């Protein structure tokens, strides 16, 4: 996916931006970039590949050559950014997070007018940020340009612009991603992760609404476009890819995950489906708080029968090759034999997408002597690939474990009954659970319900995007 951080200060803010951006490294693993404006030096920018070297290590040497009272940084899983752009609207640096589903159409429309071309190609395609900048530059000012770009783009487009007069931040039209503003004695910052503000000395003071555009200077922030009434913030911020310390719409990630686990245990207790196990365990790391919540409510011991070795191994989804991702994932898993051998375990993960690595994890536990492995997913079966955010590597919905099993069970007819299959209390839902258990080697399987997940998030249901589970816009 990706993330960004920016700051405007009465003093040099390069270290604020450097560390603030680094605190978004969990959101992307391919490219990192910094851009600054200084009255004497003008604009400076640097972009590095961070696939094999962490952002902080890669950019430490660049800080000696960079200064500025205004700066932005970006972490990206896709295109190199921020880009520096010069146009009739002036010079600005641009960073963005989201996905452009109609990119080819926009590119062809742009090429239809003579004299237009794109230079910042990424993996054989036009860099999204150059494309967004081209759309912005069709208009008479930056704000109208941002509105125009967001209206034309199908998908999600959250934007950060660095100008010589400050930063312009624009949350995507439906607020699928968060933007928070922080304040200290010297100025203001803007961030996707609220904890990043706090760690570099700013106190969060304002959350942008859906589609809202603000200008940020050292003296404050000014609304340039009012927020819309409709919001569809991504539920996976809490379930998976948000950092535990962050708050979105007033709800902390770690608190939500623990509460989610408690709700799962409560419902299993009520329905009589809670298995007799020795330990409740979470798949590291995002599954751990869900497991803690489950253990707390069920009064069953929480344990870590295996841990991840992270000092030298990259994130398991980093390699583009699935086989290599599986190898990396397995090499990172270090067993605690005393907590596995002869034990009945309940394993809780944040979600089950393709199930490939989870199958390896279960096999790993059985090879190390587990007597039983019961599996629980902290969200409902994923039935649809996300078309609003670029955080899933699934190329087809038939790569999703649940959809693949439905096809195996009932063919094309089964795809007409996805809602029924997603409900574990129905006949079709029970067949799906049984089929996945047989393939994956689980002794039992359960999914959190959509109602339970939304209860754990705790904000108005209509304001949360649940497309990946329901297929509803």
The DSSP output letter for 283 is -
Domain ranges of the chain: 2-231, 251-470
Q: CA torsion, points 277, 307, 247, 225, in degrees to nearest 10?
A: -120
Residues 350-363 have a mean pLDDT of 89
Residue 309 is predicted with a pLDDT of: 78
pLDDT digits (tens, 9 = 90+) for 98-110: 999 998 898 888 7
* Architecture, CATH, for domain 2-231: 4-Layer Sandwich (3.60)
Highest mean pLDDT of the ranges 39-43, 278-282, 395-399: 278-282
- Which two tokens mark 102? 């109609």
Phi, psi of 215 (to 5 degrees): -105, 130
Length of the chain in residues, anyone?
473
Whether domain 251-470 has CATH 3.40.50.2020: the reply is: yes
pLDDT at 319 over 60: no
Residue 397 is predicted with a pLDDT of: 86
Q: What percent of the chain has pLDDT above 70?
A: 92
- Please give the residue that has the higher pLDDT: either 314 or 274: 274
Q: How far is the C-alpha of 211 from the C-alpha of 330, rounded, in Å?
A: 42
pLDDT digits (tens, 9 = 90+) for 180-213: 999 999 999 999 999 999 999 999 999 999 999 9
SS3 254: helix
Residues 266-290 have a mean pLDDT of 95
pLDDT at 315 over 60: no
pLDDT digits (tens, 9 = 90+) for 93-152: 999 999 999 988 988 887 666 656 566 556 668 899 999 999 999 999 999 999 999 999
Strands 444-447 and 372-377: parallel
SS3 156: strand
Residue 317 is predicted with a pLDDT of: 43
Residues 272-301 have a mean pLDDT of 96
Q: How far is residue 366 CA from its own chain's centroid?
A: 31
Cα angle: 227, vertex 151, 224; to 5 degrees: 35
């Amino acid at each position: 996916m990706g993330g960004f951080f920016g700051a405007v200060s009465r003093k040099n803010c390069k270290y604020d931006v450097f560390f603030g951006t680094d605190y978004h490294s969990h959101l992307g693993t391919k490219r990192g970039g910094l851009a600054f404006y200084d009255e004497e030096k003008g604009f400076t920018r640097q972009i590095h590949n961070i696939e094999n070297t962490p952002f902080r290590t890669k950019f430490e040497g660049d800080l000696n050559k960079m200064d500025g009272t205004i700066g932005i940084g970006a972490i990206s899983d896709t295109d190199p950014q921020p880009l520096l752009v010069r146009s009739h609207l002036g010079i600005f640096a641009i960073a963005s997070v989201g996905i452009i589903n109609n990119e080819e159409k926009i590119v062809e429309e742009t090429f239809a007018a003579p004299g237009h071309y794109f230079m910042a190609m990424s993996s054989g395609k036009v860099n999204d940020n150059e494309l967004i900048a081209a759309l912005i530059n069709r208009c008479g000012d930056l704000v109208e340009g941002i509105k125009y770009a967001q209206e034309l783009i199908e998908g999600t487009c959250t934007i950060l612009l660095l100008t010589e007069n400050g930063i312009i931040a624009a949350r995507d039209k439906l607020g699928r991603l968060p933007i928070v503003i922080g304040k200290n004695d010297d100025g203001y910052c803007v961030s996707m992760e609220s904890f990043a503000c706090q760690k570099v000395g700013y106190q969060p003071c304002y959350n942008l609404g859906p589609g809202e555009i603000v200008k940020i200077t050292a003296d404050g922030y000014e609304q340039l476009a009012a927020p819309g009434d409709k919001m569809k913030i991504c539920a996976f911020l809490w379930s998976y890819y948000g950092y535990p310390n962050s708050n979105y719409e007033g709800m902390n990630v770690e608190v939500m995950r623990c509460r989610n686990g408690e709700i799962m245990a409560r419902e299993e207790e009520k329905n009589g489906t809670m298995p007799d196990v020795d330990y409740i365990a979470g798949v590291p790391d995002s599954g751990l708080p869900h497991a803690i919540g489950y253990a707390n409510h069920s009064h069953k011991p929480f344990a870590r029968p295996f841990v991840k070795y992270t000092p030298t191994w990259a994130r398991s989804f980093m390699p583009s090759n699935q086989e290599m991702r599986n190898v990396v994932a397995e090499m990172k898993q270090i067993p605690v034999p005393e907590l596995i051998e002869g034990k009945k375990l309940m394993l809780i993960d944040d979600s089950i997408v393709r199930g490939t690595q989870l199958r390896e994890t279960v096999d790993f536990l059985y090879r190390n002597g587990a007597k039983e492995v019961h599996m629980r997913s902290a969200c409902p079966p994923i039935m649809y690939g996300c078309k609003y955010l670029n955080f899933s590597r699934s190329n087809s919905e038939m790569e999703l474990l649940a959809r693949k099993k439905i096809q195996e069970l009932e063919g094309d007819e089964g795809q007409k009954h996805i809602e029924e299959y997603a409900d574990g209390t129905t006949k079709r839902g029970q067949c799906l659970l049984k089929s996945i258990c047989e393939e994956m080697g689980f002794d039992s399987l359960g999914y959190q319900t959509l109602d339970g997940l939304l209860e754990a998030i705790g904000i108005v249901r209509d304001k949360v995007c649940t497309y990946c589970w329901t297929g509803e816009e």
